Amino acid sequence: MRNAFAKVVTELADMHPELVLLAGDIGNRLFDRLKEKHPDRFLNCGVAEANMTGVAAGLAVSGLRPITYTITPFNTVRCLEQIRLDICYPDLPVIVVGTGSGLSYANLGATHHSMEDIAILRTLPNMHVVCPADPTEARLAVTDAVRLARPTYIRLGKKGEPNVHTSDPDFRIGRGIIMRDGSTVAILSVGNMLEPALQSADQLQDEGVSTKVVSLHTVKPLDDALLTSLFTKFELVVVLEEHGLIGGAGSAVLEWGNIQGVDLRKLIRIGGPDRFLSACGDQQEARELLGLSSAQISRRILDRLNGRHASGT
């Protein structure tokens, strides 16, 4: 996703003379083409994220279209008050991009994990929270965020993830993308969990459970129409995220369902625990530790379906 981001930012900078990229002393060589073509619109702001965020807001209030970029926890919770007051309060068109989200940097330790960012950023008025699933969605998310021109947080993974999409989907911030149709279980996959979500759907299909998969890339605002239809038609609605359960996308759906009055007994939230992760290995190993591998996800869904069937008979 990182390389897709660098490429699309360079292309968008060619098209939009207002676009400015601010980086927090990362991305060595990643933005060489942008620096070469538009030297006045790339700024290495150093390891000073509070200032970088304030500078971005000052650029935006002056008619420019800044994007801030650094490792997720440093570009979100470290400079949270600047995001809240400088960007969100005046509703300025700044795009905040975090790289290495969730457990992408699992083996770097808890300092580099971001299992709280969705929860925290979605509480901010005016903020949009977008979690692309793969490099294709990352490219489309940045492009659509430039169109949107509102405070937008884009939660990227790392580099080298495979493309799940084989062609460009119809991507619109606030609208989920249907990846596969089904009739019994609906898995709403948030961000980089799309690949295991699709694998789980395969496994469920093998067990005779028809499973729909949606890339729910936008956590705020939620796709009302899609959620309403899923809670009406499906036996189970699963929200899957590489993020803590407290306040994450699953919580957002829970809050939404409470307001809408849908049957929330259908909801399963799958995500991370309320603790810092230590010695958790690489991303895949960390997922297994938390029950986020495809086999663990499909097992959990099957158990729930079986338990429900048993109690219903």
Residues of the shown chain interacting with other proteins in the complex, contacts defined by CB under 8 A: 20, 40-41, 43, 45-46, 48, 50-64, 66, 81-82, 85-86, 89-90
Taking the C-alpha atoms of residue 22 and residue 123, their distance in angstroms, rounded to an integer, is 24
Taking the C-alpha atoms of residue 20 and residue 287, their distance in angstroms, rounded to an integer, is 35
In whole angstroms, how close is the CB of 285 to other proteins at the nearest point?
36
Taking the least distance from each CB to other proteins, the nearer of 66 and 196 is: 66
Output the CA–CA distances (angstroms, integers) from residue 201 to 90, 116, 188, 207, 288, in the order listed: 43, 27, 11, 10, 17
Question: What's the count of helices (H) and strands (E) in the chain, helices before strands?
Answer: 12, 12
Taking the least distance from each CB to other proteins, the nearer of 19 and 219 is: 19
Residue partners of 95: CB distance under 8 A and separation at least 6: 65, 66, 67, 68, 142, 145, 146, 152, 153, 154
In whole angstroms, how close is the CB of 27 to other proteins at the nearest point?
18
In whole angstroms, how close is the CB of 150 to other proteins at the nearest point?
15
Taking the C-alpha atoms of residue 185 and residue 235, their distance in angstroms, rounded to an integer, is 6
Bridge partners of residue 285, in order along the sequence: none
Taking the least distance from each CB to other proteins, the nearer of 26 and 50 is: 50
Backbone angles phi, psi at 153, to 5 degrees: -105, 125
Taking the least distance from each CB to other proteins, the nearer of 81 and 263 is: 81
In whole angstroms, how close is the CB of 31 to other proteins at the nearest point?
16
Taking the least distance from each CB to other proteins, the nearer of 133 and 146 is: 146
Output the CA–CA distances (angstroms, integers) from residue 276 to 16, 111, 118, 189, 296, in the order listed: 41, 9, 16, 23, 21
In whole angstroms, how close is the CB of 152 to other proteins at the nearest point?
17
Taking the least distance from each CB to other proteins, the nearer of 19 and 190 is: 19
Contact between 193 and 159 (Cβ < 8 Å): no
Containing H/E element for 207?
Answer: none
In whole angstroms, how close is the CB of 42 to other proteins at the nearest point?
11
CA 122 vs. chain centroid, Å, equals: 11
Taking the least distance from each CB to other proteins, the nearer of 90 and 109 is: 90
Containing H/E element for 16?
Answer: none
CA 118 vs. chain centroid, Å, equals: 8
In whole angstroms, how close is the CB of 63 to other proteins at the nearest point?
7
In whole angstroms, how close is the CB of 58 to other proteins at the nearest point?
2
- Residue 61: CB atoms within 10 A of its CB come to 14
Taking the least distance from each CB to other proteins, the nearer of 87 and 297 is: 87
